[in-house]
Structure 1
Amino acid sequence: MNENETKKLSRTDLFSMAIGQIIGVGIMTMTGIAIGFTGRSVNLAYIVAGLITIFAAIPQIYIGGTANFYGGQYSQIGVLCGQKAAGIFLYIQLFTSLAISMYTLSFADYFLSLFPNVNAKLISFIVLTALFGMHFFGVKQAARLQNILCAILAIAIAAYIVLGIGNVQGDYLTNGFMTKGIGGFVLASIYLTFAAGGATYVVNYSSAAKNPTKDIPFVIIASTAIVVLVYAVMSTVAAGVLPVDQVANQPLSISAAVFMPKTVYTFFVVGGAMFSLLTTLNFNIGMIVYPVMTGCKDGWLPKKLAVKNKKFGSAYLILLLFYLIGIVPILLGLDLNTIANSTVILFTIIRGVIAYSAMQLPKKMPEIWKESKFYVSNGKLKAICIASIIIAALSVLVLLVSTSPVQICGNIGILAFSVIMALIFNKRVHLSPAYEVKK
């Protein structure tokens, strides 16, 4: 950890990265689906989803606030759950790189809706190359880009709220509220946790943060709370400017078209939908580096991949590897959406694994845990972690209902591959502690 402190991520940088990760195209599409579940009570469903998300993140906060784990969740799982579990997580993590292509192709689709004569492959290539280029020059540069993208994204969201709130129909609370009863409301609340989640992954930036044990727990809670409140207001507009049957299962663009002038609507599509893809993509490029870099040092992958650029401190070979993984499918015209989406259930299960990991703190790190400012009694720790595991299990059930059989098989296949690889390479791996305590 010899990087200059000025090159590390401040609390503001981490906050911006987390905001960019949470605000994705999910708000554009999932809100309409949730309206289909519960009608105009979707705003309350978002609030409940936010509370569930924050509560489910408490085990992650316990771990991240106790010690600085260099490899993020990979190191946390390794230290608290064992070497094989860490290996399985790492190989699953590698498959998330396939989502890189998905984000760029989705961006190109939005771009073509505005400029239909542009080559989609060229746009995808330019976007991916530019974002990876920022990370080659260091994570601080990528964070600065994230700050700019989030500022524009905030303006687009503000435009939607300011212009739309006055067009909400007067019968909002009496017509189309709780359309499918308490069951539909609960289903919508659990479903929307996928739109509200994402901030916990900022823990994978631990080794790049100035003060990770203090800043990351704060960022997880604050970013989730702020975004969820914004989502609740946006969903009020989405569900209220038209009758429920016209906006149910529809993207936000349907409601935006009602009250936005054409130029502002175009800006909303670009600054909202398109920039939300860019912020999520930018976050994910940086997020996958640190667990993989630590995994390389441990022996799960070739150690030479973990070499850093001396000037910028970037793991340029890992970035190059993921860049090639992302660019080849684009150039070949392959559709990797199904494969990229086939890790969703697995990463929801990993939320439960993190909660189980937190339960091991008194056993695996007793002295450090007792000194943690997040220390709680064993009984309270177990109760919170078990509740978080139950939430993860309910989320998996929701996914099983809404996920295609092909993607379910994809999750099973990726899990099987990851387990086999972890068993094969386990003997040659020497898991490093990969954490330090900062008072």
Structure 2
Amino acid sequence: MSIWRVKPVSAFEADMKKSELKKVLGKWSLTAIGVGAIIGGGIFVLTGTGAYYHAGPALALSFIIAGIACVFAALCYSEFASILPVEGSAYAYAYGTIGEIFAWIIGWGLILEYAMGSMTVAVSWSGYFNKLLKMFGIKLPEWLTTDPSSYTGEGFSMNLPAFLIVLFVISILIKGTQSAAKANNLIVILKVSAIIFVIIAGAFFINPENWSPFIPDATQIIDKNTTHEAYGIGGIVSGAAAIFFAYVGFDAVSTQAGEAKNPKKDVPFAIIASLLICTLLYILVSLVLTGMMNYKDFNPLGKYPDAIKAPVAYAFDIAGQAWAGYIITIAATVGLISVLMVMIMGQSRIFLGMSKDGLIPQVFSKVNPISGTPKTNLMILGAVIATVAAFTPINKLADMTSFGTLFAFTMVCVAVWMLRIKQPNIERTFKVPALPVIAICGICINTYLMINLSKDAQLLSLGWLLIGVIVYFLYGKRNAKLGKQENVE
């Protein structure tokens, strides 16, 4: 069946030779892209919810487990990147192994990860930006910072900061990947410096008694009139599932393979390095936070009801160091810009790959000869993301982002195993060790996490994928370049 046609490796190699993208990214710029995507405002939020609702002081162990779970997918991504160093990420990998229909579904699912994720990050950035302005005595009117369905007043309203930050990021991206990478590198340095500051400064206010017992006895926690098991070994595992999404984004490195100077070596290095760096930072932040403040004090119904919303800043407030809240808020505000930048960049490269293959309109594969970027592609994406972020309560759809990510992770683990069986002799500059074991672990963990997403997110995501299948049969299948070549032959 033509829907299962596979794009040969030789065709990918031909695309690489014809690519108009400028190869300007070294291994540390690629690593910074990974770090920029993984570390967002979540590091200052998930630590509180993870400690109180799940693992207690043992949250550090939850981060280790989640990091290991990500490594399975990261290793599979790395092997593919060493074989097919092209833009398109999991979409391209599936097209070269499983078949066109699967590649399309993964590409469609990645829109959930990147486009929906970009909208969510833009709205989050707006919240941090408004908080920062209030710290300096500036308050924007509600109608300029709220989407229409969340607005409590009458008349017109929009989330203007979310709209403008998307346009600002697009203006950087269309100038060229090199200038965008330099901006991202600077933001990542500032962001990581702020996190290291939190770790070092917070270490002076640690009370070791807050770590005792390190793994609290299993008990039941009441949350919004429902109860669930927390703490103990089960709490550590459920904590890993809850904070797993702090790690998604390392796959953004693979979307930039077409612009890497030495993709077969540097992309695998950057994927693994960014994951290890972020895991270490997450572990240290969680240890400092649970040492500064007892995990029970993050109870939203307790003595400090607001602590769970901004746990790190609150821990410094209680320690009498309110000034640290300014640094943390500035770091989160600036840091989210790099997350948004990497997500939009990643989505544009996936569209570029799909467009080259004829599965979506050709306008998305036009590369500006001066900047070496898909300028029109970026402008269309920017207009859509900015508009939706400004007028939609996008936070309700955040779980759909996780579904798209986990779906892609699972398919990459399947695809790398299939390619090893189908083409064992193909050149691989990076090989996953103990592949069947690693692939099976990745498939099982990511599928388990997908099953444990909210029912609404599952239904909405499956509905999105169904729409994608319809679009494929109405447009993609008819216009696919592989299909046209088959007809000519």
Match of 1:181 among 221, 232, 244: 232
Give secondary structure in 2 for the equivalent of 1:198. Answer: coil
1:196-211 counterparts in 2 under 5 A?
196-211=247-262
- Contact 1:5–1:210 under 8 Å retained in 2: no
1:348-363 counterparts in 2 under 5 A?
348-363=406-421
Match of 1:347 among 405, 429, 432: 405
Pairing 1:231–2:282 present = yes
Alignment-derived partner of residue 334 in structure 1: 392
Distance 1:3 1:12, change over 3 A: farther
- The farther-off stretch of 248-257 and 11-20 is 248-257
Alignment-derived partner of residue 67 in structure 1: 84
- Contact 1:349–1:392 under 8 Å retained in 2: yes
1:113-124 counterparts in 2 under 5 A?
113-116=131-134, 117-118=139-140, 119-120=144-145, 121-124=159-162
Match of 1:374 among 430, 449, 474: 430
Alignment-derived partner of residue 435 in structure 1: none
Superposition deviation, residue 191 in structure 1: 2.8
- Contact 2:175–2:371 under 8 Å retained in 1: yes
Match of 2:445 among 368, 379, 391: 391
Distance 1:313 1:99, change over 3 A: same
Cα-Cα RMSD: 2.3
Q: What letter is aligned with 2:128?
A: Y
Alignment-derived partner of residue 110 in structure 1: 128
Q: TM-score, normalised by structure 1?
A: 0.89
Alignment-derived partner of residue 220 in structure 2: none
Supply the distance in 1 between the matched residues of 2:389 and 2:249 (Cα, whole angstroms): 25
1:16-415 counterparts in 2 under 5 A?
16-36=32-52, 37-95=54-112, 96-116=114-134, 117-118=139-140, 119-120=144-145, 121-175=159-213, 177-179=215-217, 180-247=231-298, 250=308, 251-252=310-311, 253-259=313-319, 261-271=321-331, 273-331=332-390, 333-368=391-426, 371-375=427-431, 380-399=434-453, 403=454, 405-415=455-465
- Contact 1:9–1:209 under 8 Å retained in 2: yes
Q: TM-score, normalised by structure 2?
A: 0.81
Q: What letter is aligned with 1:82?
A: G
Supply the distance in 2 between the matched residues of 1:229 and 1:49 (Cα, whole angstroms): 12
Superposition deviation, residue 100 in structure 1: 2.5
Distance 1:314 1:260, change over 3 A: farther
Supply the distance in 2 between the matched residues of 1:330 and 1:5 (Cα, whole angstroms): 29
Supply the distance in 2 between the matched residues of 1:100 and 1:92 (Cα, whole angstroms): 14
- Contact 2:191–2:335 under 8 Å retained in 1: yes
Supply the distance in 1 between the matched residues of 2:388 and 2:183 (Cα, whole angstroms): 25
Q: Percent identity?
A: 23
Alignment-derived partner of residue 4 in structure 2: none
- Contact 2:122–2:166 under 8 Å retained in 1: yes
- Contact 2:413–2:443 under 8 Å retained in 1: yes
Q: What letter is aligned with 1:393?
A: T
- The farther-off stretch of 90-99 and 15-24 is 90-99
Supply the distance in 2 between the matched residues of 1:376 and 1:350 (Cα, whole angstroms): 18
> Unaligned regions of 5+ residues in structure 1, if any?
433-439
Give secondary structure in 2 for the equivalent of 1:20. Answer: helix
Distance 1:208 1:222, change over 3 A: same
Alignment-derived partner of residue 26 in structure 2: 10
- Contact 2:403–2:457 under 8 Å retained in 1: no
Q: What letter is aligned with 2:339?
A: T
- The farther-off stretch of 89-98 and 310-319 is 89-98
Give secondary structure in 1 for the equivalent of 2:183. Answer: helix
- How many residue pairs match? The answer is 422
- Contact 1:34–1:188 under 8 Å retained in 2: yes
Superposition deviation, residue 305 in structure 1: 2.7
- The farther-off stretch of 93-102 and 148-157 is 93-102
Alignment-derived partner of residue 8 in structure 2: none
- Contact 1:239–1:247 under 8 Å retained in 2: no
Give secondary structure in 2 for the equivalent of 1:367. Answer: coil
Per-residue CA deviation, residues 113-168 of structure 1 (Å, 9 max, x unaligned), is 23242343342233211110111011111111111111111221122111111211
Give secondary structure in 1 for the equivalent of 2:121. Answer: helix
Distance 1:297 1:352, change over 3 A: same
Supply the distance in 1 between the matched residues of 2:105 and 2:451 (Cα, whole angstroms): 22
Q: What letter is aligned with 1:70?
A: E
